[in-house]
């Protein structure tokens, strides 16, 4: 299971992870961060290791997972989300099913109230 994070973002990340876990009780939840700066800070300050999405996918493939769903917590498309897209494409041959959810605000309808 994911290690504890002791930053101000803890409540938001924990709430998202709780909701994701509740919506998919038959799946195991793994955490990965796209920001190298945040990963390094958590490691240096708190001694917490967080995988990048690519590292997490490599571990899941090595552990024999074949059906993997990824849900980014990014709000909008951007460089870090596009990096996940490229990494997912590179890892797709190692899984029977590998899906990636879109950021919260991905299409025109997401901005219309």
pLDDT beyond 70 at 52: yes
For residues 76 and 57, the answer to whether their CB atoms sit within 8 Å is no
Is 1 part of any domain? no
- Domain extent, residue 27, equals 10-111
Would you state the pLDDT for residue 6?
55
For residues 69 and 96, the answer to whether their CB atoms sit within 8 Å is no
Token digits of residue 48: 């917490």
**Considering the entire predicted model, what is its pTM?**
0.81
pLDDT band at 16 (very low <50, low <70, confident <90, very high): confident
Over range 18-24, report the average pLDDT.
Answer: 89
Residue 28 and residue 14: Cα distance in Å, rounded?
Answer: 15
Cα torsion 87, 58, 36, 76: sign: positive
Over range 15-25, report the average pLDDT.
Answer: 88
* CATH number of the domain enclosing 15: 3.40.50.1400
Is 3 part of any domain? no
Over range 48-68, report the average pLDDT.
Answer: 96
For the chain, the domain total comes to 1
Is 86 part of any domain? yes
């Amino acid at each position: 299971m994911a290690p504890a994070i002791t930053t101000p973002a803890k409540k938001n990340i924990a709430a998202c992870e709780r909701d994701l876990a509740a919506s998919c009780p038959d799946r195991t939840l793994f955490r990965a961060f796209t920001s190298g700066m945040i990963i390094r800070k958590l490691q240096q300050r708190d001694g917490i290791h967080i995988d990048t999405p690519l590292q997490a996918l490599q571990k899941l493939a090595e552990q024999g997972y074949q059906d993997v769903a990824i849900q980014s917590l990014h709000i909008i498309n951007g460089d870090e989300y596009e990096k996940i897209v490229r990494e997912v494409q590179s890892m797709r041959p190692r899984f029977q099913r590998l899906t990636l959810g879109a950021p919260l605000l991905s299409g025109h309808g997401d901005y219309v109230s």
